[in-house]
Structure 1
Amino acid sequence: MSRLIRTFAALAVLGLAAGCSSMTGVDEASVAGAATKKASPAPASPFWVDPASSAAEQIELWERQGRTADAEQLERIAGQPVALWPAGEIDPAPAVASATTSASQEGRTALFVAYNIPHRDCGQHSAGGAPDADAYRAWIGKFADALGGSKALVVLEPDAVAHIVDGCTPGEYHAEREQLLGEAILRLKQQPNTQVYLDAGNPSWIQEPWKLVDPLKRAGIENADGFALNVSNFQTDAVTKTYGLRLSQDLGGKHFVIDSSRNGNGPLPGVWCNPSGRALGTRPTTDTGEPALDAYLWIKRPGESDGTCEGGPDAGQWWPEYALSLARNSKS
């Protein structure tokens, strides 16, 4: 469709039966070329807004086509900071460096997801990841180097721990995965202004949070800033916060962040992939009213497909009509 959509074509994606994330990245040229566009972060949000997002590109297209009312609706997405998912299949450094440079110029924090763990997504919608442990270490090293001293927040490996707990990832890979996650946390935390939150699934997936405690500890959660919940899922803020506080207590008070990108109407029972009638949720902010909850974030990029279901394109592909539905259903 647009320059940015073409840029995103090579990106890896997330989309499993628990309802996790799609993956999106952006190359250096697209970020630099977007400097003439305008986007401003939401009030109370310290996070950087990507001025060349798919939503911003869609707005331009619809305005040219005369769909001004629809374009206005999409401002609810384009004006918010969302995480970038640098593709695992290529060098992440250009995308990461471009985003952090732009964010630093505004004095803001760039949001990222690192998603390239070997044996990713158990061979499902987002199968792939690094071919082996050494390749993953090299990829994480490039990712971390590109962050430099800029302010950044990284959500590390959606699904990776939860897939250990639910048994989807074969047992022979568990020890290596936990070791790689621990190493990734330590490597990312070498960057002086980087926060790292290790993904811990969502309340509808691993319903007993205590089951996550030991795997998270083996994966080095003590060296991370905390854990992330509800990535690309639709569980409400209230349900997820309650779950997060229980898990936090079991982890000695670890903090957490919540993906509120599409949970405005909560989940649609029995449907995890592109459920209809959903809405945008709480806008990204660090003003949560709960000391252990560091932020509500838009980790999943609203408007990107969960997979080829309910009429959607491949996982991670921009789906403008679904984005429009999320925006129209939003309460703010």
Structure 2
Amino acid sequence: MSRTGNRSGVALLAALTLTGAACAGTALALPSGAPAAAAAPACTVDYKVQNQWDSGFTSAVTVTNNGAAVSSWNLTWSYAGNQKISSGWNAELTQSGAAVTAKNMSYNGSLPTGGSTSFGFNATYSGTNAVPATFKLNGVTCNEDTGGPTDPPTDPPGPGERVDNPYAGAKMYVNPEWSAKAAAEPGGTAIANQPTAVWLDRIAAINGVNGGMSLRDHLDKALEQKGSGELTVQFVVYNLPGRDCAALASNGELGPTEIDKYKTQYIDPIAATLGDAKYAGLRIVTTIEIDSLPNLVTNVTPRPTATPNCDVMKENGNYQKGVGYALDKLGAIPNVYNYIDAGHHGWLGWDSNFGPSAELFKTTATSNGAQLSDVHGFIVNTANYSALKEDHFKIGDSVNGVSVRQSKWVDWNQYTDELSYAQGMRAKLVSLGFDPNLGMLIDTSRNGWGGPNRPTGPGAQTSVDTYVDGGRYDRRIHLGNWCNQSGAGLGERPQANPEPGIDAYVWIKPPGESDGASRPIDNDEGKGFDRMCDPTYEGNPRNNNHMSGALPDSPLAGHWFPAQFQELLKNAYPAL
């Protein structure tokens, strides 16, 4: 995590040093052959409070690029107090809670070596107005030492030292097994080189299933792909007792009471392998138990969405015990970054779900051996279809005096898309005591919703429903639909630092892997038949009794589904 320090004095000049070339969306590294201690600073950031009064202030910021030329820049920082930017100039300024992002305008994005650019803003505050202690330029954390640009730069983190964002300045691991399947499909070579996660969804997956790659095989291959730079490899830890108590398609091999087997035969071997010193130079991201903890809030008695299995798992506590144990064991490995699953806005975005889920995340992360420092961040929208951004309607809009929240689609939710939800959940979690530098991941593997049916503007203002339905990108029948959705497309490609508070857009659920079978299929994987994967199903309380919207003829969850892959290619947004 980034270090923080106390800074006071409103006229303090903050001259901070970056240790890498500032280039958005690319690997950030020192020039080849240059020793870290002797490298010139890549940039300096001067932040000055020019004028201040009782309730407001004016600041000027100058960014100087001493590294490789860049065509765009993105500067981020967080305030320690309640500062709120009200207007600005020469940069596109956005703020989410304490986090601020300044992006270049169309006319000042280019910064040659030695070039500078300046921007400014007005802001309000009360109490103290400390200068921000830490800045990031294009995802690289600035040096806290404010001694000036003549000071030697800080060495980059070495093996065993965690960085603030494991995705920044790093390549991402391309799973050879998924890549080969994608490349074998018509048009699949367009995305076969994209990074996707490796799912450890049963004990056998640790050593490889049916002759496939083992966990150690993937780590060895990651070392090959890494070369001399940084590389992030992503794994899904997914095998809780009584797994996914509300959806039969992704049930697992362990029964509700098999917590000891989960610990000794699943988590312990994974931890032993990831902790091998051979892999200390990799950045290993673990996404912890998808679709687990939120079920203990939304799908238990007395909710109308309750299931008997979720009542059992809430009563025995094995979800919390399992997640806590995984966080503890994996969090002890210096180069492992744990991200807990936090559902999606169409699941937890309502007031009755949002706060209680955040509280449950904290309780789980501070029990059964775990502590908050074991959690690097959270991930949202894994294996789901919620749109990243809904541009044509906002939660504060109304039509003829009727709020968007009252539309059938939004249905009183506090969020309309995944970006706003992820940023909102992050702010809530930080307020509960999680690290202020907490990072969020958003899975964009199937939420692009492109193709000819993608709206280009708001819907008609005949009613709040025509306004929302005509303008929404997400074309599902209902927000609660989750299985192999018809009309879905690939979303944003994996990338680091896309928005404030977001460590990366990722493809954790590999495109082309089924969400569940459309009919009963005998198997030894513990996976059941969920009617939400049946295109003829008319729904249940969890999707307000709507049609499932699923594609036909789908195989078991995690198995290759060519029709889904083609659907995602066809409707990709951004287009391929």
Q: Answer yes or no: same fold by TM over 0.5.
A: yes
- Counterpart of 2:419 in structure 1: which amino acid? K
Hey, what does 1:329 align to over in structure 2? 571
Which whole-Å deviations, capped at 9, do the CAs of 1:92-140 have from their partners, x for residues lacking one? 1552211111112222221110000000111611112434111111211
Kindly indicate whether residue 313 of structure 2 is the aligned counterpart of residue 173 of structure 1. Answer: yes
Which whole-Å deviations, capped at 9, do the CAs of 1:52-100 have from their partners, x for residues lacking one? 22x523534x6xxxxxxx2xx2123311111110231426155221111
- Counterpart of 1:106 in structure 2: which amino acid? Q
Kindly indicate whether residue 189 of structure 2 is the aligned counterpart of residue 75 of structure 1. Answer: yes
Note closer, same or farther for the CA distance 1:86–1:322 as it changes in structure 2 (3 Å cut): same
Hey, what does 1:272 align to over in structure 2? 482
Distance across 2 between alignment mates of 1:242 and 1:205: 14
Which moved further from structure 2: 96-105 or 82-91? Answer: 82-91
Hey, what does 1:302 align to over in structure 2? 511
Sequence identity, in percent?
29
Hey, what does 1:218 align to over in structure 2? 363
Note closer, same or farther for the CA distance 1:286–1:58 as it changes in structure 2 (3 Å cut): closer
Note closer, same or farther for the CA distance 1:318–1:142 as it changes in structure 2 (3 Å cut): same
- Counterpart of 1:204 in structure 2: which amino acid? G
Kindly indicate whether residue 241 of structure 2 is the aligned counterpart of residue 118 of structure 1. Answer: yes
Kindly indicate whether residue 202 of structure 2 is the aligned counterpart of residue 88 of structure 1. Answer: yes
Contact 1:257–1:295 (Cα < 8 Å) also in 2: yes
Distance across 1 between alignment mates of 2:215 and 2:475: 32
Which whole-Å deviations, capped at 9, do the CAs of 1:189-224 have from their partners, x for residues lacking one? 122211110101111012232221111011107221
Contact 1:93–1:145 (Cα < 8 Å) also in 2: no
> Greater Rg, structure 1 or structure 2?
2
- Counterpart of 1:329 in structure 2: which amino acid? N
- Counterpart of 2:219 in structure 1: which amino acid? T
What is the root-mean-square deviation of aligned Cα atoms in Å? 2.2
Note closer, same or farther for the CA distance 1:113–1:267 as it changes in structure 2 (3 Å cut): farther
Distance across 1 between alignment mates of 2:340 and 2:423: 15
Hey, what does 1:263 align to over in structure 2? 447
- Post-superposition offset of 1:176: 2.7
Distance across 2 between alignment mates of 1:305 and 1:127: 14
Distance across 1 between alignment mates of 2:328 and 2:562: 38
Matches within 5 A, 1:1-332: 46-53=171-178, 55-57=179-181, 59-60=183-184, 70=186, 73-90=187-204, 92-93=206-207, 95-107=214-226, 108-122=231-245, 124-131=248-255, 132-138=258-264, 139-148=266-275, 149=280, 150-166=282-298, 167=300, 168=307, 169-174=309-314, 175-208=317-350, 209-220=354-365, 222=372, 223-238=374-389, 239-252=417-430, 253=436, 254-265=438-449, 266-270=474-478, 271-290=481-500, 292-307=501-516, 308=518, 309=534, 310-311=551-552, 312-330=554-572, 331-332=575-576
Contact 1:236–1:267 (Cα < 8 Å) also in 2: no
Alignment length, in residue pairs?
279
- Counterpart of 2:385 in structure 1: which amino acid? F
SS in 2 for 1:170: helix
Q: Which runs of 5+ in 2 are unaligned?
A: 1-167, 209-213, 301-306, 367-371, 390-416, 431-435, 450-473, 519-533, 535-550
Contact 2:496–2:505 (Cα < 8 Å) also in 1: yes
Q: Which runs of 5+ in 1 are unaligned?
A: 1-42, 63-69
SS in 2 for 1:196: strand
Contact 1:100–1:152 (Cα < 8 Å) also in 2: no
